[in-house]
Amino acid sequence: MMEILEVGYKANGRSLITDVSLRIEAGRFVAIVGPNGAGKSTFLKLLTGELTPACGSIRLEGRDLKRYRQPELARRRAVLAQQNHVSLPFSVREIVMMGRYPFHKNAPEERDFAIVEACLREVEMLGLADRVFPTLSGGEQQRAQLAKALAQIWEITGAFLFLDEPTNGLDLRHQCHSLEIARQLAGKGTGVVAVLHDLNMALQYADEVVMMQHGKVYAKGRPEETLTEENIRRVFDVQVRLVKLPESGERIVLEVGNRKSAIGNQESAISDRKSAIGK
Ligand SMILES: Nc1ncnc2c1ncn2[C@@H]1O[C@H](COP(=O)(O)OP(=O)(O)OP(=O)(O)O)[C@@H](O)[C@H]1O
C-alpha cells in the first residue's frame, strides 16, 4: 500500500503540488485525471521516487519512500514515463530485457528470457522483437516500453505500476489492450496508477479516480462519484453530458461544448475593439 500524507512540492519557487493526501491500495487501478498543467506528472514522479516531496511524506508498505535504495525500489515498482527517448540501436528484446536488470546478477538467466518473451507476447510485439528500437513507430515504441515495465514487475506480488499517459500514440485497439493489461494486473494484486486524459477510459477501467486541478486534489473516489458533469465542467472548463448506454448501463462522457467558446471570445474581442475606435 502507498500512503501519501499532506505532500507538497515546489520548483523554482512555485508550488506545483499542494497538500495532497491519498491511499493507494495494491490491487486497485487508480486513474489521475486533470487539465494540462494540473500537476499529474509531477505527482506521479513523487510517487515513483523520481522527485522528493518538499513537505509531507510518501510511504510504501509503511516505509518512507526516501529510505528505499534505488535497486530495492526497482524490484517493487515499474514506471512507464511520458517520454522514453532511446537513441542507441538496442533491439526491442534488449529494451524489454532492461526491465529484468534489477533481478539478475551478471547475465540474464533462462527465467529472464522467458519473462521477456511473455511480456513481448502480452503487448503483441513478438513479431517486432528483433527490430532496432529507434526505427519503431511511436505507438510501437510505447508498447515496447510497456513490455519493459511489465517485465520488471512480472513476478512481484503487490508491486506498483505507474503509467504516465500510457495510451499516448496508440491506436484505439491498443489503447484498450494496454489498459486491459493494466486492469488484469490490478486484478492479480498490482497497484496501478495511471495518468489518463481520456475520461471515458478512466470511467471504463479505473477503480478510483483522482481529479487534480492547480496542483491539488479536487475530487477523489469511485469513477462515477468523481467524474460527474459538474466536476468535469468546473475542472476542465468544458460542458459535458454523461450518458448511460442502454445495453450495458455503462456511462460515457460526451463533450457538448466549451464554456467559453473560442468564437464567442473572438466576437466579443471584435465588438470591444469596435467600441474602442468608436464604431
Ligand atoms: N521544473 C519545473 N519548474 C517550473 N515549473 C514546472 C516544472 N515542472 C513542471 N512545472 C509546471 O508545473 C505544472 C504542472 O506540470 P505537470 O507536468 O505535472 O502537469 P500535468 O498535469 O502532467 O500536465 P499535462 O496534462 O500537460 O501533461 C505545469 O504548469 C508545468 O509547467
User: Is the Cβ–Cβ distance between 92 and 131 less than 8 Å?
Assistant: yes
DSSP-based three-state secondary structure for 137: coil
Question: With a 6 A CB cut-off, is 164 part of the ligand 1 pocket?
Answer: no
Q: Can you give the pLDDT at residue 279?
A: 46
Cα–Cα distance between 192 and 204 in angstroms, integer?
14
Mean of pLDDT values over 206-233: 97
Confidence of residue 275 (pLDDT cuts 50, 70, 90): low
- Ligand 1 centroid–CA 42 distance in Å is 6
Testing ligand 1's pocket by substitution, the residue of 15, 41, 52, 213 carrying the most ligand atoms inside 8 A of its CB is: 41
Kindly report, residue by residue over 151-209, the tens digit of the pLDDT.
999 999 899 999 999 999 999 999 999 999 999 999 999 999 999 999 999 999 999 99
Residue of 30, 31, 7, 36 whose CA lies nearest to 213: 36
- Ligand 1 centroid–CA 38 distance in Å is 7
pTM of the shown model:
0.90
Cα–Cα distance between 163 and 180 in angstroms, integer?
13
Q: Can you give the pLDDT at residue 258?
A: 66
Q: Is the ipTM of this complex over 0.95?
A: yes
- Ligand 1 centroid–CA 58 distance in Å is 20
Mean of pLDDT values over 266-273: 49
Confidence of residue 243 (pLDDT cuts 50, 70, 90): very high
Q: Can you give the pLDDT at residue 270?
A: 47
Q: What is the CA radius of gyration of the chain?
A: 21
Top-confidence residue, 273 or 92: 92
Classify the C-alpha dihedral 135-140-143-147 as positive or negative: negative
For residue 265 the three cell numbers come to 471570445
Cα–Cα distance between 120 and 154 in angstroms, integer?
12
The cell 524489454 sits on which residue? 96
For residue 144 the three cell numbers come to 515496447
Cα–Cα distance between 83 and 81 in angstroms, integer?
5
- Ligand 1 centroid–CA 219 distance in Å is 19
Q: Give the torsion through C-alpha atoms of 68, 69, 74, 75, to 10 deg.
A: -70
Q: Can you give the pLDDT at residue 249?
A: 85
Confidence of residue 48 (pLDDT cuts 50, 70, 90): very high
**H or E segment at 22?**
strand 14-24
User: Is the Cβ–Cβ distance between 116 and 151 less than 8 Å?
Assistant: yes
Least confident window among 57-71, 128-142, 221-235, 241-255? 241-255
Mean of pLDDT values over 39-46: 97
Question: With a 6 A CB cut-off, is 39 part of the ligand 1 pocket?
Answer: yes
Average pLDDT of every residue of the chain: 91
Residues in the chain: 279
Q: Can you give the pLDDT at residue 104?
A: 83
Least confident window among 46-50, 130-134, 249-253? 249-253
